[in-house]
Chain A
Amino acid sequence: MIDWQLIADNRELLVEGMLYSLKLTGTAMLGGIVIGCLLALARLSSFKPLSLFAAFYVNLFRSVPLVLVIFWFYFLIPYFGFQIGPDKSVFITFTLFEAAYYSEIIRAGIQSISRGQVSAAYALGLTYPQTMRYILLPQAFRNMLPVLLTQTVVLFQDTSLVTIIGIKDFMGSNVVVASNNSAMTEMYTFAALAYFCVCFPVSLMLKRLHKRIAVIR
């Protein structure tokens, strides 16, 4: 069912596609975690306008399909006069979209740390930023690491959606090879297998990590 010769002939395109998918995943993960962290802190802040803004942002992005958000930016960025091309603009799309999901994970992580830890840090004279940096976030990140990484596996799978707007990510490259050689059966089976071979070992490792961290706690 898989035509290995065809794959070998097109390996450059396919490898490039995979690299694009990984780059998009990596960027959206790092950017998403940084922005997500700020959103989580904003949401937990006692300054109402800030927490309302964060809540609105998170709820907006979590209520709509990623495909829709991809189209938002696909249409809006040129509409407002920025000609950066879809293969660059999706980096912004994914970062902003994933930030909403990461922020919920981070918020839960922060809330899983007891109030007493914050009190103790304050009682020692640490300021709010110091308390966040040295006490809360390190503990919270340790607790939520497996969930953050699981979300990243989901993110990696979701990057395949950029195929819809004609980007040659890994799936997009498969589509190109499939239609150039009228080999849909072969190429789509290969794509499914390839995604599985990347995601399954990572999922398995994360499951182990989850158990280990649960034990430490």
Chain B
Amino acid sequence: MIDINNVSKWYGQFQVLTDCSTRINKGEVVVVCGPSGSGKSTLIKCVNGLEPFQSGTILVDGTSVGAPKTNLPKLRSRVGMVFQHFELFPHLSITENLCLAQMKVLGRNHEEAHNKGLQLLDRVGLKAHAEKFPGQLSGGQQQRVAIARALAMDPIAMLFDEPTSALDPEMINEVLDVMTQLAAEGMTMMCVTHEMGFARRVAHRVIFMDHGQIVEDAAKDEFFGSPRSERAQQFLSKILQH
């Protein structure tokens, strides 16, 4: 589903990604972790072309992201993305947030979009808030709306860029629950996150990145059981202490 081959990226002289390769199969849940500044967020943003990269290729369902003739908006409309800071559109109501892209990008009519939106809002447990504005919801609620917004596009895969790191601790679980449910339904997911509990429960594979490189790419049990690299071991011991 997502094929990343030898991707490298520079900001001027500074190399942020070095030769990253991995593959995410249909229905697979992959967690990407690593210390901050390791390039994991950059990598996930390359997958839907939000960040350009200078060498290598990324194929999403057979379409090359970096190719000049690729219709990026079309490709992005098929890949859902959830951001660290939610990025709901504050000037639009929750319903409008859910409907806008369905109508403008997929060309659905208002009724269709509205029904779809409400159905997904119900699924993340927020149907009662449909007419509110993003600023009136808590962080956890906003992030659940953001997930519903992405799902409304009927994506073939979902990208999560640190979806819980801007949340207060008591709100993290409500978001992780939605993600867990999604994984159980067979959604293809690539998640940048520090939530190792989530990784243990839900992920099929874990990718560990450091200094712009994929250091470790292993099945979940293997990764948590006996990480091969020293850096991954150090990282795990730091993050699992508490």
- Which positions in A face B, CB cutoff 8 Å? 114, 116-117, 119-127, 130, 134-135, 138-139, 142, 216
A216 to B136, CA, bound (A): 11
B99-117: which residues lie under 8 A (CB-CB) from chain A? 100-101, 104-106
A216 to B75, CA, bound (A): 35
Size band of the B side of the interface?
20 to 34
The list of the 10 closest CB pairs from A to B, nearest first, reads A125-B77, A120-B87, A124-B101, A123-B81, A125-B105, A125-B76, A116-B87, A125-B73, A127-B73, A139-B91
B179-234: which residues lie under 8 A (CB-CB) from chain A? none
Are B87 and A125 in touch, CB under 8 angstroms? Answer: no
Nearest CB in chain A to that of B51: its residue = A119
A contact residues around B73 at 8 Å (CB): 122, 125-127
CB of B171, distance to nearest CB on chain A (Å): 19
18 pairs of residues in contact across A and B, judged by CB atoms under 8 Å = A114-B85, A119-B83, A120-B81, A120-B88, A120-B89, A120-B146, A121-B89, A123-B48, A123-B50, A123-B80, A123-B150, A124-B153, A125-B74, A125-B76, A125-B106, A126-B105, A134-B104, A216-B135
Interface membership of B149, Cβ < 8 A:
yes
Q: A123-B81, A125-B73, A127-B73 are in contact. Are A117 and B89 (CB under 8 A)?
A: yes
B contact residues around A125 at 8 Å (CB): 73-78, 101, 105-106, 153
Nearest CB in chain A to that of B87: its residue = A120
Are A124 and B76 in touch, CB under 8 angstroms? Answer: yes
B contact residues around A124 at 8 Å (CB): 76-77, 100-101, 105, 149-150, 153
A196 to B104, CA, bound (A): 47
CB of A110, distance to nearest CB on chain B (Å): 14
A142 to B74, CA, bound (A): 29
Nearest CB in chain A to that of B74: its residue = A125
A122 to B83, CA, bound (A): 12
CB of A117, distance to nearest CB on chain B (Å): 6
Interface membership of B37, Cβ < 8 A:
no
B contact residues around A139 at 8 Å (CB): 89-91
Are A119 and B87 in touch, CB under 8 angstroms? Answer: yes
Nearest CB in chain B to that of A143: its residue = B91
Which of B78, B80, B89 has the largest count of A CB atoms less than 10 A from its CB? B89
Are B87 and A117 in touch, CB under 8 angstroms? Answer: yes
A139 to B89, CA, bound (A): 9
Q: A122-B50, A122-B73 are in contact. Are A130 and B87 (CB under 8 A)?
A: no
A121 to B80, CA, bound (A): 11
A142 to B92, CA, bound (A): 12
A121 to B106, CA, bound (A): 14
